[in-house]
Amino acid sequence: MVLKFIYLTRHGLRATWVLDPQTGTYTSSVPSPTGIAADAPLVSYGVDQARQLSEHLSTLDPPIDRVYSSPFTRCLQTLEPAVGRVRGLRSIGEERQLEDNSQWRGIWDGEVRGENGFGEWFGQAQFKHPSPASPAVLRSLFPFYSPSYTPVLHPPSAGETIDELHERVAYVLTRVIADLDADPSGPRSVLICTHAATLIAIGRVLTGHMPIDAEEQDFLPYTAGLSVFVRRSEDGVHKDVAAVSGDVEDLVPDTRKSGNGGPHAAAENESHAAVEPRSANTLVPAKIDWRQGKGVQGGWTCIKNGDCSCLSGGAERGWKFGDP
């Protein structure tokens, strides 16, 4: 059995931070549980959004079988109510309720796989970009954080152009989908919780539709909204896997001076003295052929785009490339 459905959501409303573009220092008036200023937690409104989203997630058909998330706090907090629901229903004495109420009938046990490749996009600047907390710290804060999963890729601390973000996402999705297809438990669906820019890139990579203008509004990354993708065909499944099994090399052009910076980018600095050089585990090992409608792993069709019908506040905090 191969994966059929991908559910995609953005984290709930988070606290804000302030970036000093000269020094690359982040500050926030709301402390993060990880102690990282740019690892902003959800505000109370975002927590409410997460609860409302979890109620909706419990009604999905097919039900959720696996869950992946960016390792940043705001994404893990968004998934926390859903984890509580599924683990509560699966607790001793409640298995009958799980089977009788048609909720959470999938094989998901509440574990969340932290995938750095689905992490935030910070654009480019002359300083080192924030990274999430270590897996050990995250497991201490979120016991449902998988202790055994190894991320496919870590984004480079030097930042990425818009094109590099899309290539990062294409590589990670190709690997993740292939792994789920090969899972002997036969997951039919997966939920991914991520960030605005990464969500847009995921939608484009799955469908294979990259607009000429990257700033075009296509996939809708509302806070705690839900997009749904259905696999178009099993034809071509795994044909891209050979492309990700070879030696690691930098096949994504270094276009740092192209002007495709991000919402937190600062002026270019020729020296880049504060930026760590790229290492093998932060490069995209292979460039995936996903454009011109192809998509990855057989291609996917978006049947629901940024649906917020389950949220009392409706669609909020939309974003697109080019926005601050």
Mean pLDDT of all residues in 251-256 = 29
How confident is residue 46, by pLDDT bands cut at 50, 70 and 90?
A: very high
pLDDT at residue 104 in the model: 60
Return the half-sphere exposure (C-beta side, CA atoms, 13 A cut-off) of residue 67: 27
- Tens digits of residue pLDDT in 108-164: 999 999 999 999 999 987 788 899 999 999 999 999 999 999 999 999 988 899 999
- Tens digits of residue pLDDT in 176-196: 999 999 999 999 999 999 999
Residue 197 has φ and ψ, to the nearest 5°, of: -65, -40
**Cis status, amide bond into 324, omega within 30 of 0:** no
pTM of the model: 0.84
Residue 29 in tokens: 């008036």
Q: Quick one: the chain helix, strand, coil %, rounded to 5?
A: 25, 15, 60
Residue showing tokens 């058909």: 61
- As a whole-number percent, the residues of the chain with pLDDT over 90 amount to 69
Strands 226-231 and 300-307: antiparallel
Sign of CA dihedral 290, 292, 298, 302: positive
